[in-house]
Structure 1
Amino acid sequence: MPKVFYTQPDGTERAVEGAVGDSVMQTAVRNGVSGVLGQCEGVLSCATCHVFLHERNAEDFPPISEDENEMLDCTAVDRQDTSRLSCQLPLAEGQHVHVTIPKAQL
């Protein structure tokens, strides 16, 4: 079973078990993780699930698509090199994913 470690802007961390095939965003929303809104429910039409993906997990996911790249220009907090939309990060069996949630999504 995959596990996602969500680090809040204040440094507190919460580990949540996810389901294979669900996204990092779906896992956060279903488990009430603060700071991941997912207002568009994962259809890549908002940027309210913006996270900073830990560098060690970068190779675990497909590269940023052109659409995701454009949406990342619309985030409330300036994007960084490790910025991703968590709706575009599907979980795989046995995966341990570490993300940091930005200070704001809106």
Structure 2
Amino acid sequence: MPKITYVDHAGTARTVEGSVGATVMETALRNNVPGIDAECGGACACATCHVYVNEPWSDIVGTAEDMERDMLDFATDVRDNSRLCCQIRITPELDGLSVTTPARQG
């Protein structure tokens, strides 16, 4: 199973196993990862699962679609590597993915 590392804004890392086909958000919730609120439950209708995709993963994960970019307008401290983790589906190629949560969710 692919491993995903979640780093909080203070630098504390937590690595968990994810299931292929699940989202990075679902994996965070199943493993009680702090900093992922996911108020809409993964419907891409809020920005409370905002993360920064750490290098070198940005190219592998890809860029946000239009709807996701629209929702990121509601996030705090959006950067070039910002994504909603409800929109990142885990594949075998994402084994080792590292994301950082912002100091607060929008």
TM bin, normalised by shorter chain, reads over 0.9
The match for 2:45 is 45
- Using the TM superposition, name which of 56-65 and 23-32 deviates more: 56-65
Q: Distance in 2 between matches of 1:63 and 1:9?
A: 22
1:5 aligns with 2:36: no
Code of the aligned partner of 2:19 = A
Q: Distance in 1 between matches of 2:2 and 2:92?
A: 5
Matched ranges for 1:25-104 at <5 A: 25-75=25-75, 77-93=76-92, 95-104=95-104
1:25-68: CA deviations, max 9, x gaps? 00001100000011111110000000000131122224311000
Query: Shift of residue 78 of structure 1?
Result: 1.5
> CA 1:62 to 1:82, structure 2 compared with 1: closer, same or farther past 3 Å?
closer
Q: Distance in 2 between matches of 1:61 and 1:78?
A: 20
Q: Distance in 1 between matches of 2:46 and 2:21?
A: 21
Deviating above 4 A after TM superposition, structure 1's stretches of 4 or more consecutive aligned residues are: none
Code of the aligned partner of 1:41 = G
Total equivalences in the alignment: 105
Code of the aligned partner of 1:22 = A
Structure 1 unmatched runs, 5+: none
The alignment's TM-score, normalised by the length of structure 1, stands at 0.93
Query: Percent of pairs identical after alignment?
Result: 42
Does the residue aligned with 1:55 lie in a helix, a strand or coil?
A: coil
